[in-house]
Amino acid sequence: MKKILITRKLIKESEDKASKTFNPIFNSNDELYSQSKVIEMSQGCDGILSSLTDKMDKETINKLPDTVKIISNFAVGFGNIDLEAAKKRGIAVTNTPEVLSDATAEIGILLILGACRRAAEGIESAREGGWKWSADYLIGKQLTGTRLGVLGMGRIGQKIARIAKSLGMIIHYHNRSKLSEDKEQGAIYHDNLKSLFSVSDVLSICCPATKETENMINKETVEYFPKGAVITNVARGDIVDDDALIDALNRRKIYAVGLDVYKNEPNLNPGYLKIKSAFILPHLGSATKDTRIAMANLAIDNIDEFFKTGNCINKVN
Ligand code: GLV
């Protein structure tokens, strides 16, 4: 049986499946391994089942033992792994697409609702007590009739677009390529960022973090939005230049943000904490039991498929 280092504790059902599929090394205390610990623990292993909290950069990958042939990431995103470095060492990298699209889209909608309808301020006031209802108390932005820009119309973006449309939003999107009409479902395509942002009363960031998307929201692009726009991010923090966004919030150019992901998690930029209208969550996108089990099972199946066939449908490098 193949020996696999599983860097984070999984839900019991998934650990049982891993034990049946290969010879796993579990992390029963769910310790956050340092890069050197991952290198040390993977000695003699055939593969690593990593998580988005493991920074598998070039230096780490270059020090992995030659026996490691696959890094199966327990996430759809793989910005934590240097794909090129892995490829150069003949290490396959896989991810877990599709199984988390529904759960993540739900959080994407929560971010839109939470930011537009001032949920952060509302929760704080309700907890504090003594709030006084009045005709203009905590007036928010209504979704019905509002334009939603979807940046990245993959599976998660499409699902968010479908739900948002059912809430009465008018959907615009930017993607590397225009979708077929059945996938578009009436959404309006923009072939460049400026064009999309300029019609986005609300933006939902759903694209992967890559070199091309890094800091796509920045000092320049934030100016493309209509005044008082709302920006939400269910994808990755790397897509946003935090200082530019926080400055735009402080200037009221941007009205509110809904964020589930951050640069340098869990240490989000403290500037966000000072902004009352910031509706912020601790990376909950895929956090439902069914989804986490499905993701872990897929990460296990990816390893199994790779060793049985020499390839894997979810290989990303
Ligand atoms: C979650 O953020 C994931 O990429 O799976």
Instruction: Establish whether residue 101 lines the binding site of ligand 1, counting it when its CB lies within 6 angstroms of any ligand atom.
Output: no
Residues 136 and 254 in one domain: yes
* Residue 299 Cα to chain centre, angstroms: 17
Q: Which residue's CA is minimally distant from atom 5 of ligand 1?
A: 75
Residues 245 and 221 in one domain: yes
Q: Which two tokens stand for residue 121?
A: 């301020």
Q: Which two tokens stand for residue 283?
A: 């990376």
Residues 132 and 15 in one domain: no
Per-residue confidence (pLDDT) for residue 28, from 0 to 100: 96
Atom of ligand 1 nearest to the CA of 261: 2
Across 223-241, b (16+ Cβ under 10 Å) vs e yields ebbeeebbbbbbbbbbbbb
Residue 317 falls within a domain, yes or no? no
CA of 145 to the centre of ligand 1 (A): 30
Residues 186 and 77 in one domain: no
Q: Which residue's CA is minimally distant from atom 1 of ligand 1?
A: 75
Residues 83 and 215 in one domain: no
Residue 26 falls within a domain, yes or no? yes
Question: Domain containing 109: what range?
Answer: 101-280
176 is catalytic: no
Catalytic residue among 172, 174, 236, 292: 236
Task: Give pLDDT tens digits for 152-207.
Answer: 999 999 999 999 999 999 999 999 999 999 999 999 999 999 999 999 999 999 99
Kind of pairing, strands 70-73 and 47-50?
parallel
Task: Give pLDDT tens digits for 76-113.
Answer: 999 999 999 999 999 999 999 999 999 999 999 999 99
Residue 314 falls within a domain, yes or no? no
Task: Give pLDDT tens digits for 214-248.
Answer: 999 999 999 999 999 999 999 999 999 999 999 99
Residues 171 and 228 in one domain: yes
Count structural domains, the chain: 2
Can you give the CATH number for the domain in which 74 is found?
A: 3.40.50.720
Residue 61 falls within a domain, yes or no? yes
Residue 141 falls within a domain, yes or no? yes
Whole-angstrom distance, CA of residue 145 vs CA of residue 168: 6
Task: Give pLDDT tens digits for 248-294.
Answer: 999 999 999 999 999 999 999 999 999 999 999 999 999 999 999 99
Residue 316 falls within a domain, yes or no? no
Residues 113 and 262 in one domain: yes
Per-residue confidence (pLDDT) for residue 56, from 0 to 100: 98
Instruction: Establish whether residue 77 lines the binding site of ligand 1, counting it when its CB lies within 6 angstroms of any ligand atom.
Output: yes
Task: State the greatest distance between any 2 C-alpha atoms of the chain, in Å, as a whole number.
Answer: 67
Residue 256 falls within a domain, yes or no? yes
Residues 92 and 105 in one domain: no
98 is catalytic: no
Q: Which of 10, 93, 104, 213 most suits a substitution to test ligand 1, by most atoms within 8 Å of the C-beta?
A: 104
Atom of ligand 1 nearest to the CA of 100: 5
Residues 16 and 77 in one domain: yes
Residues 165 and 133 in one domain: yes
Residues 129 and 228 in one domain: yes
Phi/psi at 25 (nearest 5 deg)?
A: -105, 115
Residues 31 and 87 in one domain: yes
Task: Give pLDDT tens digits for 152-161.
Answer: 999 999 999 9
Which residue bears the tokens 């956090």?
A: 287
CA of 266 to the centre of ligand 1 (A): 14
